Structure 1
Amino acid sequence: MPDESPTPTVGALPDTTADSPVVPAVLTWLVWTLFVASLAALVASMRGWTGWAIPGVIAVDGLTVLLWTVVTFFSGIVHSYSRRYMAGSTHKPRFFFAMSGFTTVVMALVAADHVALFAGLWLAMGLTMAALIGVTEGWPQAQAAAAVARRYFLASSALLGGALVALWWATGATSISGIGAAADTLGGPVWLAAASALLLAAMIQSALIPFHSWLLSSMTAPTPASALMHAGFVNAGGILLTRFAPVITVDATFMLAVVAVGAASAGGGKLLKSVQTDVKGQLGCSTVGQMGFMIMQAGLGFFGAAITHLILHGCYKAYQFLSTGAQVEHTRPHETTEHTLGRITSLVGITVAVVTGLGGGVVFTVLTGKGATVDSGLLLTFFVVVTTLHAARSSVQQTSLPTLARYGAVPLVFFPAIVIYAVVYEGISGLLAVSTATTELTLLHGVIAVAFVGIYVAIETGIHEHSQRLYVALLNATQPAAATVLTSSEEYNEY
């Protein structure tokens, strides 16, 4: 009948007057204040301040203040962004408390020295991130995603707890610094069990293959939470391996295993990304690959490079997530594909990539000294160049320039990027108390490098697209948990 109103399909807008702006404003101000204080501590550390400690409980060193600065910077940006993004949401205060709590827990974690304190904060960090993923209480898919993440994080915490108990049993030390000091005495089955558990805990937290499902299932989280997750939380695996560097560097064979699992995710993440069609899914698969690079650098013995990678990746991925709306709207009406330009363009692209990469390798070697000898530093230089070159090409491809012009723009983006990477790496290495553990190259190192180049070339040329079996396998591997999948927008509109 004409006088009947249609059945509403979307819930009423929340009462914004009931949502006081005081809580978000105060917490945002507090996080930026912590950033300023952390930056001041970082400057003091660079000028010779040796840190502060409560022996056996807390140890504030160069790595601590560096990570404090990075974490509060990312958190401050996300807090500021979220004040508008979450405007009108009934979950806004809860969301801001969870974000601020997460920031506080991470800051405490990187300063913790006692193994029990470290393990407790590691668990709290995971549970807080799970709460952010499921912040929308009335949305079943969000709650399912939080439950999936929580199971993975509990498994990671259990592995870390087992590793710490084993290390305490082997060394008698109850602090991370004490375990590191006694690392020379480690070896045998107890050490192997502890080191393996540490590696598995890092793999789960950093969403390495085959533990990437929780990350791809977490897309129900608000975009600012995703930015904080991809820019900060997943990097915890690299921080864990760096803190326990004396433990995992006991045996060169184990270090090789770390390289292998990192390389598997680095290449696998790129393959998974190639079959994704939605923006957040692509960013998630990209994170899987980039975290693989981070773990691989730790396995090569260059923990400063791993920390450098997690910081630069965090900056890049935070920006990518917070600008996903613009990426969805982005179009290139004048785009011309390589296929329409023929084989000459492909040869030009290959030539530009090779020449640019070789030049970048020389620049990185000159600035850092890595790659000048035949050891793991050579492989580090190779992977840094490949990663930076790929990032440069990806950023150029997002422009509306013609294809040939994009090839010419790649070196203009790549060389400043490789210089920044090298300078940041050198600065961070000077802050770390962890020494570089360079290893000799082996046949397996060569196999890993060749396999990675093969995957990279296959994706760039589209060869992998000819296999339907591979496509289906990759597509299946990128599927989130079934309970987290949305089938209708009406399921979440009212939230």
Structure 2
Amino acid sequence: MSGRTSKSTVGALPDTTVDSSIVPGALTWLVWTLFAASVAVLAARVRLAGAWEIAGVLAIDGLTVLLWVVVTFFSGIVHSYSRRYMAGTPHETSFFAGIFGFTAIVMGLVAADHVALFWLLWLAMGQVMATLVGSVRGWKQARAAEQVARRYFLASSAVLGLALATLWWTTGSTTVSGIAAAPAGLGGPVWVLAAGALVLAAMIQSALVPFHTWLLASMTAPTPASALMHAGFVNAGGILLIRFAPVLTVDPTLMLAVVVVGALSALLGKLLKSVQPDVKSKLGGSTVGQMGFMIMQAGLGFFGAAITHLILHGFYKAYQFLSAGERIEQTSPGTATKQAPGVVGLAATVLTGIGGGVVFAVLTGEGMHFDSGIVLVMIVVITTLHAARSVVGQMSLSAPLRYGAVPAVFVPAIAIYALVYEAVSGLLGDLPIVAAPTELTVVHGLVVGGFLLAYVAVDTEYYERSTRLYVTLVNATQPPADTVLTTRREYNEH
């Protein structure tokens, strides 16, 4: 805030002038080198066809190289940001080892073809992330949050292990690609067990309701770790579903169940975010909702759209977390105002959304037929419009200018979304299933209606008129009590 000449601090600030380990600098250089190499591999993959694999162990396809580029880019940003953020802290070296190790594990995971290797890397990914959540060893709350996260991630790994073992036994194949190539042999109670376990593992890892507690408890993690978690780790659920898309698409009923599961988290995430008192918790609630949208897209049969969503959400959420301190600095209680949008605002929002939906449909061809593509367009419109309104909401604009600013931000944004979707779908062309639209049902109609009602209720702040609903939402967002920092004294890690 302008005009301030001093800042109140808790405890002594770290001494950033002392000699520090060469590890942070070396790992930062190495991860950016991996990013450059990943870009080169992606360019080669676009030009060269054919299988790149170590038979039965690793398989490098379009999804692999695309995620290598995305993961190393996010990780490079986090490494560079952490050079200053973590400077002088007693756990600086171990923190950098953790985020680099996490990056290497994820790069291995998206290339793993043997089911045992895939499972081991999934397990390792969760355990490293749990350690990052508890990076600040001086906080008992951080240690408690680490244990909460570790239990959830172990549960996800156990459920995934059950799914992979069942699929191995059913198909006789020891590889992910082999299982994906044998959907004709799937069905019956054994398939239900395997497919249900895959969806459950994805739900836990992506912090969908009711497994969102670990994410809300993870706010003790250093902000760079939170950025990596929300921009990368939670996306593992979507990656899991696209890898095993042929297993999930065997029965339309399961796909419909995935839509419902994602829809509930998308709606509740929107509501949970609205009652959060701090910046990071609001972003956590937003992530719950966005992961719900991603899972919905997979359930609709648009796996390429799910990957597009996780990439774009990753960019948006990484920026939001790494700039969280700036948002706090620019906000004061006395200047915060709440204004209901009113009839004109709602009308402008609806017209803007319709226009954006038309743009997306024209550029992608989705939503032109009477199938789940119509719901996909609605999801993209809602998420992109929400992001555009958030950006405009941070500007000091009068109401008339705001009505014009939202479309000015939203229409180019949804056009970019559509173009990225087309590019991603092209890169994923060597996967067994990229898009498998499903027939529209009454359930899809109910989901659409529920979304519209919920978003109107939140945007008009109608939910605040019900004390019972507000209290219920507040209670539903409370992480375990032993993970919450309650006094200023507890924030001193030095």
TM-score (norm 2): 0.95
Aligned to 2:141: 141
CA distance, structure 2, for counterparts of residue 76 and residue 125 of structure 1: 18
CA distance, structure 2, for counterparts of residue 199 and residue 288 of structure 1: 16
In the TM superposition, structure 1's runs of 4+ consecutive aligned residues that sit over 3 Å from their partners are 9-18, 48-51, 331-339
Tell me which moved more, 40-49 or 254-263.
40-49
1:486 is paired with a residue whose SS is coil
CA distance, structure 2, for counterparts of residue 489 and residue 166 of structure 1: 50
CA distance, structure 2, for counterparts of residue 428 and residue 130 of structure 1: 30
CA distance, structure 1, for counterparts of residue 416 and residue 287 of structure 2: 21
Question: Where do 5+ consecutive residues of structure 2 fail to align?
Answer: 1-9
1:217 is paired with a residue whose SS is helix
CA distance, structure 2, for counterparts of residue 212 and residue 95 of structure 1: 24
Aligned to 2:20: 19
Residue type of the alignment partner of 1:358: I
CA distance, structure 2, for counterparts of residue 335 and residue 145 of structure 1: 31
Q: Deviations over 1:282-319 (max 9, x none)?
A: 00000000000000000000000000000000000000
Aligned to 1:453: 452
Aligned to 2:414: 418
Classify 1:436/1:15 alpha carbon distance in 2 versus 1 (closer, same or farther; 3 Å).
Answer: closer
CA distance, structure 2, for counterparts of residue 12 and residue 27 of structure 1: 25
CA contact 2:16–2:87 (8 Å) conserved in 1: no
Pick from 348, 360, 367 the counterpart of residue 364 of structure 1. Answer: 360
Give the superposition deviation at 1:336.
6.7
CA contact 1:360–1:418 (8 Å) conserved in 2: yes
| Pair 1:376 & 2:372 matched | yes
Give the superposition deviation at 1:349.
1.1
Aligned to 1:6: none
CA distance, structure 2, for counterparts of residue 228 and residue 375 of structure 1: 35
TM-score (norm 1): 0.95
Aligned to 1:38: 38
| Pair 1:298 & 2:298 matched | yes
Aligned to 1:3: none
Tell me which moved more, 478-487 or 213-222.
478-487
Give the superposition deviation at 1:138.
2.3
The 5-angstrom pairing of residues 183-198 of structure 1 reads 183-198=183-198
Classify 1:12/1:282 alpha carbon distance in 2 versus 1 (closer, same or farther; 3 Å).
Answer: closer
Aligned to 2:104: 104
Aligned to 2:476: 477
CA distance, structure 1, for counterparts of residue 27 and residue 225 of structure 2: 15
CA contact 1:336–1:403 (8 Å) conserved in 2: no
2:18 is paired with a residue whose SS is helix
Residue type of the alignment partner of 1:127: Q
Aligned to 1:389: 385
Aligned to 1:4: none
Q: Deviations over 1:37-94 (max 9, x none)?
A: 1011112222234351011110000000000000000000000000000011010000
Classify 1:81/1:305 alpha carbon distance in 2 versus 1 (closer, same or farther; 3 Å).
Answer: same
Aligned to 1:406: 402
Give the superposition deviation at 1:353.
1.1
CA distance, structure 2, for counterparts of residue 410 and residue 469 of structure 1: 33
2:59 is paired with a residue whose SS is strand
CA contact 1:235–1:291 (8 Å) conserved in 2: yes
CA distance, structure 2, for counterparts of residue 42 and residue 177 of structure 1: 20
Classify 1:288/1:337 alpha carbon distance in 2 versus 1 (closer, same or farther; 3 Å).
Answer: closer
Classify 1:102/1:336 alpha carbon distance in 2 versus 1 (closer, same or farther; 3 Å).
Answer: closer
Aligned residues with identical type, % of pairs:
67
CA distance, structure 2, for counterparts of residue 465 and residue 335 of structure 1: 17
Give the superposition deviation at 1:266.
0.4
Residue type of the alignment partner of 1:447: L
CA distance, structure 2, for counterparts of residue 18 and residue 485 of structure 1: 33
Aligned to 2:492: 493
Give the superposition deviation at 1:338.
3.5
Classify 1:445/1:231 alpha carbon distance in 2 versus 1 (closer, same or farther; 3 Å).
Answer: same
Classify 1:82/1:334 alpha carbon distance in 2 versus 1 (closer, same or farther; 3 Å).
Answer: closer
Give the superposition deviation at 1:348.
1.8
CA contact 2:14–2:87 (8 Å) conserved in 1: no
Residue type of the alignment partner of 1:489: R
Aligned to 1:75: 75
Give the superposition deviation at 1:14.
6.1
CA distance, structure 2, for counterparts of residue 11 and residue 419 of structure 1: 48
Give the superposition deviation at 1:169.
1.1
CA contact 2:139–2:493 (8 Å) conserved in 1: no
CA contact 2:297–2:306 (8 Å) conserved in 1: yes
CA distance, structure 1, for counterparts of residue 302 and residue 165 of structure 2: 27
CA contact 2:152–2:204 (8 Å) conserved in 1: yes
CA distance, structure 1, for counterparts of residue 339 and residue 132 of structure 2: 42
Classify 1:167/1:308 alpha carbon distance in 2 versus 1 (closer, same or farther; 3 Å).
Answer: same
CA distance, structure 2, for counterparts of residue 305 and residue 132 of structure 1: 30
Question: Where do 5+ consecutive residues of structure 1 fail to align?
Answer: 1-8, 340-344
Aligned to 1:249: 249
Aligned to 1:266: 266
CA distance, structure 2, for counterparts of residue 13 and residue 316 of structure 1: 30
Give the superposition deviation at 1:404.
2.4
The 5-angstrom pairing of residues 26-65 of structure 1 reads 26-65=26-65
Q: Deviations over 1:15-56 (max 9, x none)?
A: 863532x11111000000000010111122222343510111
Aligned to 1:467: 466
CA distance, structure 2, for counterparts of residue 354 and residue 488 of structure 1: 44
| Pair 1:199 & 2:199 matched | yes
CA contact 2:130–2:146 (8 Å) conserved in 1: yes
The 5-angstrom pairing of residues 167-186 of structure 1 reads 167-186=167-186
Q: Deviations over 1:457-477 (max 9, x none)?
A: 100111111111111110011
Q: CA RMSD in A?
A: 1.6
Tell me which moved more, 482-491 or 43-52.
43-52
Tell me which moved more, 353-362 or 72-81.
353-362
CA distance, structure 1, for counterparts of residue 68 and residue 16 of structure 2: 36
